[in-house]
Amino acid sequence: MPGVVLHVPSAVLAGNGGGERFYHPFQCALRARGIKTRMVLHNRDTALAEIEADDAFHIFDHGRI
């Protein structure tokens, strides 16, 4: 399975954006089902290239690409 990539703001990556209350349990639930997850910085300039570079399912936090 290709996995899930979560594109999030820098504050969430740093652990002080409040989003970890959602993303941590969400990642734990996916991983419990054998789905690999990773969080990356939401960058509109590189988002399309990142999507095209792999077969993962990409989720964006409150953003547009």
pLDDT tens track of the chain, all 65 residues?
589 999 998 888 888 877 778 898 999 999 999 999 999 999 989 999 999 999 999 999 876 66
According to the model, what pLDDT value does residue 21 have?
A: 85
pLDDT at site 64:
66
Looking at the chain, how many residues does it have? 65
What type of residue sits at position 42?
A: H
Identify the pLDDT of residue 1.
56
Task: Quote the pTM value.
Answer: 0.85
